[in-house]
A and B are shown apart, each in its own frame.
Chain A
């Protein structure tokens, strides 16, 4: 099957000379855009937009080369750009593994793409100017449709320009890790970051793509590639597939509008729209039956995000199995396998060739090529899974996140319909994509159990959005033998769902657009000068780095490591202390001296860090102190490691030579201690050490009660509780009207956990344990005076009735023999919260004020 249009004969037109001249002018214009982007690195808007458009042509050029090498029919612009991205990533993987993908090399690769575009433009039957002429002719013939298309193009352009103009970065991910990795790539040519949690969690394909955007000489436009270039390519892919499938303009317009109006789900510069581009390309290649290219694009897609691995593999496997089953219906299974095995081999070999360099690069950096299956530099004592999860809890997490999709809020409705779609094509690409999305999401939810639904869905954005796009385009496809089948009712439901999606998107899209125009205004105001604040910050960082001898290895714990010069020193970025580290692994919760010794042993004589009180975001100690007791379990753990690292470096600054200390930036010479720093004698296992350390910290910080309300090594807060908050005591208990106050919550005061009628704890212990808890019921919420029963594994442990002020104080001893065999369930149950003449408006009826669980 070939795409419509590109293989058609050239339309009749002006003479060959004029044609050649116009083609040449097109090439020159594109090269001019590239030149403008390079010449104006400080011009966020003008330079950025020129570079974005240029990169689009460059990737299309790469795509032309790739499809020519694969002997495939000429793809449309969207697919060509996606193939180009895959081809670029295949080459980039080799160069990163070799440690040579520096800015000059990237510019050379861009040059190759530009040459590919020029070659294609000068030799293809249909040139760009032909398409422009065809477009103008279409406008004349179909003014209403043209008006609709023009409106969509304008909306899309606003988003693309906004993506270039948006300079805001996520200080948690982008400033700390993603942008520094781009900087490292441009300057050092590799991605060797053994201390980086983010590096461990991705092969680096997205970094290589981001480097294309930054290669013009600035790291400012961090969203140029994903929100700009990739969104544009995705839209071109949508239009391209609609043309191939002869999709009704109403369906095309609607899905295009849905895509353009999707609320921004990205919170950082990781892969979102690049994932959409690649999964859409995978789907389209499966439809076309281009199996060698399928393997290449599959491998490239897997490099973008670690969680793309599963849906990519499942998609490709499903397509192949469906094809095999289809052929087996005509022939025997053995004959079918003989018929199909070449295709399997082609995909596997193309995929392996493309991904193997990324595996090598990942191994060189993080000692694993398949995280999280193989730990590599990941902290072996740490698990992102809760210590105990039963299947009902896993089920609760899965259903809760599956029914809370974002930004495509109507996905459950579309999923209902997808189940009834019959795809008669070889390989059943739509069915395969559905299965891939399903398996990908379920495994994602399983792997990140307890993670909030919006996060899961943003990880799944790359593969679920193409499913919605493909469904709409296939349902609107023109009549033909390979049309997917669905009852008319199903088509109406999909249309209704898409309209609903537009309604849902309205409010957030309006907010996004307002913010986007603000960004455009700011970018325009910068002119050609760039962000002045960034220049000052870079000066400070460079001054700090100058204190370190050139070529000396340096480990950094800084807000903006991207501002360092990666050519001058081998730099390791401690982006999430304690999560990833090579060798004997970073000693956490043992004191500053073991940390110093470890770093010196690993070859890092110099360490740079930002003082907590001057940290712009990530390394603010107070921020982590709040998170330590009032966040998801993962972040509570992360808080402990980060505070430990902050405190340790602060201590080392008093015990070792400080070679630089200005503006909150500090450089230590770890090999020259003036005296020994602290060592803590704590339990041997790291989880136990962390628990003991956290308790000590809580006591030092006057946060003992807050600590008592946090999950720890021997006590877990499960369902029935809200998030920890502090209530001020300006209103004493007999007068409080709410479980807590709704105004801006204080950071200190009385810590409480809002509690429902029934709360569930899990405990464990190896000796007689004392359980002591304080709680209070809100009379003004429930209008009852209930009894609080505490039971362990279905046996009553203690029971109490609230005092006149609604307070409970329970104390009991649990003998050792009742604690055998690991974790045990403790239920806190109020006898009733119902009153005959009141309806409870809120089930948060009480508050837990402290829970002690300690050896007797």
Chain B
């Protein structure tokens, strides 16, 4: 009787709580409601995918990952169509949440029945579930008050792109967001989660971690003590892992999608549609994850290669998610003149190698790697996952070796995704051989490393910071709007190139904005003594920029501090002391100026001065 009441109450709460987001809540309650409706939307979208794939009984956390993939795909389509504004993203979230609530209402008796069964003894699952709930809630809500120390991913300023997509519905800035590292699915996901109101870009990863670990728990069969122990160990290791980047590079989002894919590959007859769209979302997230998606889709096709319809669903499903992002990227690049595209490409040029060399090197690393992993693993369930991981890591190593500087941290999601799949399979099979023992020891070592490591990666530091950040969720600090007054003087529709510290505070609806302060174009502020072809002025010309908004930067001060010759020569302003961007700005009149900001009018005639770069 007691469990029945609790089960009904839980189902009712699951059905209704997400809609608290429409209530006038503030602070932590508002953040919690927003997180709940986002999860409900993922679940609802996943239920739709499951329904289409004929897998109505799929576990909720598996469905959630499918929903993430589906919503990324839908958001991608909206962005490609230039319609991915806040209202459209919000509509997607509400639609997903509506499906979630509707299905829960329609299937209430079944869901209550299942919940009752779970609540009846044995309840060993309560410990890992409570651990996940507490740690997940703390990190997710804390992240709502947190901030990126470094808001740039490899391509550009994530928060600025998020603001741009919510304002304009598109990602039409190939300068500030060239998408050389990925297709932009992370921005789409951030837009979806932020659409209900609060800026949730920082929340995506903690939320994805909770959902990925939830997926692991749901697959671990945690009703008995052994499964629950595996689960508790996994949750602790997942949160304790000494991985705390300062930037928004997607990790746990990819891990969740990988784990979902690997779970599908262990099935005898994996459903084509969820597999395809999950693979598509993974590929759209980051390029180094694309090999995993490709291997998994290929393996799924290979099993029943004679079934054309299935092959079509696999290919079509993956492309349905990836293609809109490809089209959006292509449209962005085509929106600027070829000369501008060439100038941007030249600024970001990195050494490369031919495709054949890359493929050869990847194969040379991946084949023995896959063989080794498959030999070491118990059973055949993870054969595809091992191959996919080996290929992805091989490609990444190849990239690191021949394609210039690239961070090793890109390997984290690939490695964690595989580790998660491995633990899930070991836990499910209840194996107690050497592999299980070694894995358990490794998880203990991961937890211990998180406890003992120093600095901001220390587990206690991270959790304490998350708890402290709740203060900022309760009462957010106010900040000044530095750009509105200056940009108000720019005619609507004009093109403005910006080099500012907070591009996320610009209103993207009034003007066409190109963000120059991105990793690919950072060299615009580099000062060279030697004669060289100027980069900024031609780029601005090719972009047909009407204005340049430039914020006081430390570049000159930095040079003063680090370059003796510069300090001596440039005590008084000289053109030779300007970097490319300063030089280009100096050639044109200042339209407006305030508090470290200068609005340069690029339309007028040039000021007198020495031609060319410094």
Chain A interface residues (CB < 8 Å from chain B) = 390, 392-393, 395-397, 399-405, 409-410, 412-413, 416-417, 419-420, 422, 453, 486-490, 492-493, 496-497, 500, 504, 718-719, 734-735, 737, 757-758, 760, 779-780, 782-787, 789, 791, 793-796, 799, 801, 804-806, 825, 827, 829, 831-840, 843
10 smallest beta-carbon distances between A and B, as pairs: A827-B477, A400-B464, A396-B467, A392-B470, A403-B460, A791-B478, A801-B596, A837-B522, A834-B150, A799-B480
> Any chain A CB within 8 A of the CB of B586?
no
CA of A310 to CA of B156 in the docked complex: distance in angstroms? 54
CA of A419 to CA of B464 in the docked complex: distance in angstroms? 23
Interface of B is mostly: helix
Residues from chain A with a CB closer than 8 A to the CB of B230 are 489
Interface of A is mostly: mixed
> Any chain A CB within 8 A of the CB of B226?
yes
Q: A489-B436, A492-B437, A834-B148 are in contact. Are A786 and B501 (CB under 8 A)?
A: yes
Q: Which residue of A is nearest B480, CB measured?
A: A799
CA of A779 to CA of B554 in the docked complex: distance in angstroms? 7
A784 and B149 contact, CB distance less than 8 A: no
Kindly identify which residue among B149, B474, B475, B519 contacts A757, using a CB–CB cutoff of 8 Å.
B149
Residues from chain A with a CB closer than 8 A to the CB of B475 are 793-794, 825
CA of A489 to CA of B156 in the docked complex: distance in angstroms? 45
A784 and B501 contact, CB distance less than 8 A: yes
> Any chain A CB within 8 A of the CB of B163?
no
B553 and A758 contact, CB distance less than 8 A: no
A486 and B225 contact, CB distance less than 8 A: yes
Q: Which of A400, A794, A796 has the most CB of B within 10 A?
A: A400
| A-contacting 9-mer, from B259-267, B448-456, B534-542 | B448-456
- Interface contacts beyond A390-B474, A416-B229: sample of 14 additional A-B pairs, CB < 8 Å, sorted by A: A400-B460, A403-B460, A413-B444, A420-B127, A500-B448, A760-B472, A782-B554, A785-B551, A806-B554, A832-B501, A833-B150, A834-B149, A836-B156, A838-B150
Q: Nearest Cβ distance between residue B238 and chain A, in whole angstroms? A: 13
Instruction: Indicate the size class of the contact surface on chain B.
Output: 35 or more
Kindly identify which residue among A420, A504, A789, A827 contacts B225, using a CB–CB cutoff of 8 Å.
A420
B480 and A796 contact, CB distance less than 8 A: yes
Q: Which of A487, A791, A825 has the most CB of B within 10 A?
A: A487
Kindly identify which residue among B236, B478, B595 contacts A794, using a CB–CB cutoff of 8 Å.
B478
A399 and B460 contact, CB distance less than 8 A: yes
Q: Nearest Cβ distance between residue A404 and chain B, in whole angstroms? A: 5
A496 and B519 contact, CB distance less than 8 A: no
B552 and A832 contact, CB distance less than 8 A: no
A796 and B478 contact, CB distance less than 8 A: yes
A403 and B459 contact, CB distance less than 8 A: yes
Q: Which residue of A is nearest B142, CB measured?
A: A392
CA of A492 to CA of B596 in the docked complex: distance in angstroms? 61
Residues from chain A with a CB closer than 8 A to the CB of B456 are 843
Kindly identify which residue among B156, B444, B463 contacts A403, using a CB–CB cutoff of 8 Å.
B463
Q: Nearest Cβ distance between residue A258 and chain B, in whole angstroms? A: 14
B233 and A493 contact, CB distance less than 8 A: yes
Kindly identify which residue among A719, A783, A840 contacts B471, using a CB–CB cutoff of 8 Å.
A719
Kindly identify which residue among A410, A417, A496, A806 contacts B441, using a CB–CB cutoff of 8 Å.
A496
CA of A825 to CA of B436 in the docked complex: distance in angstroms? 50
Q: Which residue of B is nearest A719, CB measured?
A: B468
Q: A416-B232, A791-B479 are in contact. Are A783 and B440 (CB under 8 A)?
A: no
CA of A489 to CA of B134 in the docked complex: distance in angstroms? 24
> Any chain A CB within 8 A of the CB of B87?
no
Q: Which residue of B is nearest A798, CB measured?
A: B480
Q: Which of B148, B444, B477, B480 has the most CB of A within 10 A?
A: B477
> Any chain A CB within 8 A of the CB of B476?
yes
Chain B interface residues (CB < 8 Å from chain A) = 124, 127, 138, 147-152, 156-157, 224-226, 228-230, 232-233, 236, 246-247, 432, 436-437, 440-441, 444-445, 447-448, 451-452, 456, 459-461, 463-465, 467-472, 474-480, 482, 501-502, 517-519, 521-522, 551-554, 557-558, 560-562, 595-596
Q: Nearest Cβ distance between residue B197 and chain A, in whole angstroms? A: 16
B229 and A489 contact, CB distance less than 8 A: yes
Kindly identify which residue among B150, B225, B479, B519 contacts A831, using a CB–CB cutoff of 8 Å.
B479
A399 and B467 contact, CB distance less than 8 A: yes
Residues from chain B with a CB closer than 8 A to the CB of A397 are 464
B440 and A785 contact, CB distance less than 8 A: no
Residues from chain B with a CB closer than 8 A to the CB of A836 are 152, 156-157, 517-519, 521-522
Residues from chain A with a CB closer than 8 A to the CB of B521 are 836
B225 and A791 contact, CB distance less than 8 A: no
Residues from chain A with a CB closer than 8 A to the CB of B502 are 831-832
CA of A410 to CA of B452 in the docked complex: distance in angstroms? 10
B444 and A497 contact, CB distance less than 8 A: yes
A-B contact pairs, 15 of them (CB 8 A): A399-B460, A400-B460, A403-B459, A404-B451, A416-B229, A493-B440, A500-B444, A735-B561, A758-B147, A779-B561, A783-B554, A789-B479, A791-B478, A836-B517, A839-B150
B460 and A410 contact, CB distance less than 8 A: no
Residues from chain B with a CB closer than 8 A to the CB of A734 are 557, 560-561
Q: Which of B479, B551, B560 has the most CB of A within 10 A?
A: B479
Residues from chain A with a CB closer than 8 A to the CB of B522 are 835-837
Residues from chain A with a CB closer than 8 A to the CB of B518 are 836
Q: A403-B463, A783-B554, A837-B519 are in contact. Are A496 and B127 (CB under 8 A)?
A: no
Kindly identify which residue among A410, A453, A805 contacts B448, using a CB–CB cutoff of 8 Å.
A410
Kindly identify which residue among B441, B447, B452, B477 contacts A791, using a CB–CB cutoff of 8 Å.
B477
A419 and B596 contact, CB distance less than 8 A: no
CA of A671 to CA of B327 in the docked complex: distance in angstroms? 94
Q: Which residue of B is nearest A419, CB measured?
A: B127
A420 and B124 contact, CB distance less than 8 A: yes
Q: Which residue of B is nearest A827, CB measured?
A: B477
Q: Which residue of A is nearest B130, CB measured?
A: A419
Residues from chain A with a CB closer than 8 A to the CB of B519 are 836-837
Q: A404-B460, A825-B475 are in contact. Are A840 and B138 (CB under 8 A)?
A: no
Q: Which residue of A is nearest B526, CB measured?
A: A837
Residues from chain A with a CB closer than 8 A to the CB of B467 are 392-393, 395-396, 399-400
CA of A795 to CA of B477 in the docked complex: distance in angstroms? 7
A487 and B561 contact, CB distance less than 8 A: no
CA of A757 to CA of B471 in the docked complex: distance in angstroms? 15
Q: Nearest Cβ distance between residue A791 and chain B, in whole angstroms? A: 4
Residues from chain A with a CB closer than 8 A to the CB of B461 are 400
B440 and A780 contact, CB distance less than 8 A: no
Kindly identify which residue among B147, B229, B560 contacts A420, using a CB–CB cutoff of 8 Å.
B229
Q: A758-B477, A789-B480, A836-B518 are in contact. Are A780 and B561 (CB under 8 A)?
A: yes
Residues from chain B with a CB closer than 8 A to the CB of A760 are 471-472
Q: Which of B451, B482, B518, B554 has the most CB of A within 10 A?
A: B554
A413 and B447 contact, CB distance less than 8 A: yes
Kindly identify which residue among A409, A780, A806 contacts B452, using a CB–CB cutoff of 8 Å.
A409
Residues from chain B with a CB closer than 8 A to the CB of A786 are 501
A789 and B557 contact, CB distance less than 8 A: no
Kindly identify which residue among A400, A757, A779, A793 contacts B557, using a CB–CB cutoff of 8 Å.
A779
Q: Which residue of A is nearest B521, CB measured?
A: A836
B470 and A496 contact, CB distance less than 8 A: no
Q: Which residue of A is nearest B479, CB measured?
A: A789
Q: A399-B463, A399-B464 are in contact. Are A392 and B471 (CB under 8 A)?
A: yes
Residues from chain B with a CB closer than 8 A to the CB of A782 are 554
CA of A224 to CA of B501 in the docked complex: distance in angstroms? 63
Q: Nearest Cβ distance between residue A59 and chain B, in whole angstroms? A: 37
CA of A836 to CA of B347 in the docked complex: distance in angstroms? 14
A795 and B478 contact, CB distance less than 8 A: yes
B558 and A780 contact, CB distance less than 8 A: yes
